[in-house]
Amino acid sequence: MQRPIVVLDLGGTNLRLAFFNRGELVELREYPSIAPMSPEEGIKKLKEWIRGFEGEIGTLVLGFPGLIARDGTLRHSPNLKAYEGVNLKESFSDIGVPVFVENDANLYALGEGYKGAAQGKRNFCCLTLGTGVGSGVVVEGKLLKGHKGVASEIGHMSVEAFGVPCTCGSRGCLEAYCSGRAILRMARDKGLEAKDAEEVAELARMGYAAAKEVFATMGTYLGIGLSNIANIFNPELIVIGGKVSRSYDLFVPHALEVLRERAFGFVTEDLTLAPSPLGDLAALWGGVALVEGIFT
């Protein structure tokens, strides 16, 4: 019988910890992100929260944003710069259970394939539009990992050769135009007063032309990214998740128009685009799928 699994989904703003037992989500907790903390403080706090669950833990899954090497070292993470170079697997070894470390968006993709929109699919992609843009790709039933284990960083695909700087150090990345941070930047450039991407969406739904233009621009760049995904990976489904996906209706029509214009018609004729039905739970269920060896 499978022992209980604890899964961490760490974001730039907050984090979620879930306790699974016998294939059921038993408990879900949310905490502020450890991003502002030093690695020593953050890891200590995470261990405290993980040990706070009642019941014996059988396996621990850590979902972190960024490039995670096969040995569990966080090699690059714009939203967790202080943690770069930390071997996360070794850091949590004193929990005393098997530790899996995986990119958070890869877990998201596994979760959608296990319990969400991609159930029964063998070729699909997930994009998470939040503070940044994450992605996970499954090809022929296997999570795409690449030579060093860090494949499918679609958020850092260049969609504008001489575009705005990205947090990764490059410029013109998909993330620089389609993340929540990017939406807020474009809105403020147009003189709109908003504290986050959700407020920009509210303004768009209230009829503010400038806010609508922001989502049209964002959707256009997303469409360029989607056309590249379609032509390169030939998926049957692309799932859109993350907080920005709550504004799905504002940007997807523009993205679909560009996708149809730029991708091969043969590729897109049966390609489906869908919002995530699991939302914030996707990466957590992905942790269970990882432990069970699904899509890996």
> From residue 2, how far is each of 29, 57, 59, 237, 239 by CA, in Å?
22, 11, 9, 31, 29
User: Domain 121-276: what homologous superfamily?
Assistant: ATPase, nucleotide binding domain (3.30.420.40)
The hierarchical CATH code for the domain 5-107+281-292 is 3.30.420.40
For the chain, give every domain's residue range: 5-107+281-292, 121-276
Token pair belonging to 175: 């993330």
The radius of gyration of the chain from alpha carbons, rounded to an integer in Å, stands at 19
pLDDT beneath 70: ranges in the chain: 1
Q: Which of 163, 170, 207, 169 is nearest to 186 (CA)?
A: 163
pLDDT at 12: 76
pLDDT reported for residue 13: 80
Output the pLDDT for position 253: 98
pTM over 0.75: yes
pLDDT of amino acid 124: 98
Please check whether the two domains, 5-107+281-292 and 121-276, share a CATH topology.
yes
Residue 1's pLDDT is: 44
